[in-house]
Structure 1
Amino acid sequence: MSAPATADRSFAIERIFGAPVERVFRLWTDPLLVAQWWGIRDCTIPHCVLDVRAGGRWRIDMLTAGGALYRNRGSYLEVVENVRLSYSDEPDPEIREWAGKPPGHSRHTVTFTPDGARTHVHFEVTLASVADRERLLALGMRGGWTQSFDRLEQLIGKGTNHAG
């Protein structure tokens, strides 16, 4: 796909985390650690299984403070340790926000770049269509990921005892 073909279906978030690449990558690939930061503010993760290898499946269930359960799942498309993760996200058709019309599969790519003792993370989501991008952004997808990254940053700030 050429850049113009995906640019109108994508959005990106950049963040610099105060930890080395190896640690940040582990925080994205160890299910016990992912369950501590993934999801929106005040949610819990009752189920987190990650088979981090190309072709491996992942599933993360997010339970909001209000009691709504969101099942997230997909498969890993590319895994380059300490460099890049790319995975599909397959929307749960039962989520009420879809009103019976779930969006298509999306591709999430996370790139980890060393910045001294810190790590620059480039997170890009490419949706199946322009309409899916507009719909998911309107539902707060960017804000949800920003909250996840805030939680990841807080976990890193707690030190190695809790954050790998």
Structure 2
Amino acid sequence: MMSDSENWVRIVQEFQAPANRVWRMWTDPALFQKWYGPKGFSVPTAEIDLRVGGIRKVCMEMKTPDTTMRMWFTGVYKEISEPSRLVYTESMCDEDGNIISPKDMGMPEGSPDLTEVIIDLLEQDGRTRMTMVHRGVPAGSAGEGGWKQAFEKLDAVLKER
């Protein structure tokens, strides 16, 4: 998709959980809602049609005393290899799933309308090494920070019994 090495985030993280459990965190809507998004955000909507060509639609929400901010994202599953690899596209959208240009949402000039998320899971001795690449999101951006916060939340959920 994108070859510009400056325009992607790559995060590698290990979890003390088997790959099939980490996989379910990405693919089961109820589990996905428990961890996705930066700190302070909840996920009131997670629609996951887990098949190649299937649509995903997610709403991240942050409430403050004065307002509620919602950000919607949609995408299409491109590759599904349970429990080791998941690839999907991602675009900002409205509540109905209509794609919205990032610049219309106040994002930096040049933000792509379509990005791609690649998740690779490798299990060894009951632990899982997750490599996440988000093509179209610059390293060092708020997007990268949001992913890191989300993965802290994911680690905490995986540690629950």
Distance 1:12 1:100, change over 3 A: closer
Written as runs of structure 1 = structure 2, the 5 A alignment for 1:125-144 is 125-127=134-136, 133=138, 137-138=140-141, 140-144=142-146
Written as runs of structure 1 = structure 2, the 5 A alignment for 1:14-33 is 14-33=12-31
Q: Secondary structure at the match of 2:158?
A: helix
Q: Secondary structure at the match of 2:138?
A: helix
Query: Shift of residue 32 of structure 1?
Result: 0.4
Specify the code of the residue in structure 2 equivalent to 1:106.
T
Specify the code of the residue in structure 2 equivalent to 1:133.
P
Q: Deviations over 1:55-85 (max 9, x none)?
A: 0000110101332100011110100001100
The match for 1:72 is 73
Aligned length: 150
Q: Deviations over 1:104-141 (max 9, x none)?
A: 201100000012111000000111xxxx637xx44x00
The match for 1:152 is 154
Give the one of 105, 108, 119 matched to 2:128. 119
Greater than 6 Å deviation, 4+ residue runs: none
Q: Pick the structure with more helix per residue.
A: 1
- Identify which range, 102-111 or 21-30, moves more after superposition: 102-111
In the alignment, does 2:113 pair up with 1:104? yes
Checking the alignment, whether the CA contact within 8 Å between 1:91 and 1:102 is kept in structure 2 is: no
Query: Shift of residue 89 of structure 1?
Result: 0.3
Checking the alignment, whether the CA contact within 8 Å between 2:35 and 2:150 is kept in structure 1 is: yes
The match for 1:162 is none
TM-score by length of 1: 0.83
Q: Secondary structure at the match of 1:12?
A: strand
TM-score by length of 2: 0.84
Query: Shift of residue 42 of structure 1?
Result: 2.1
Distance 1:7 1:119, change over 3 A: same
Percent identity over paired residues? 25
Quote the RMSD (CA, aligned, Å): 2.2
Q: Which consecutive residues of structure 2, in runs of 5 or more, have no partner in the other structure?
A: 94-99
Query: Shift of residue 146 of structure 1?
Result: 0.5
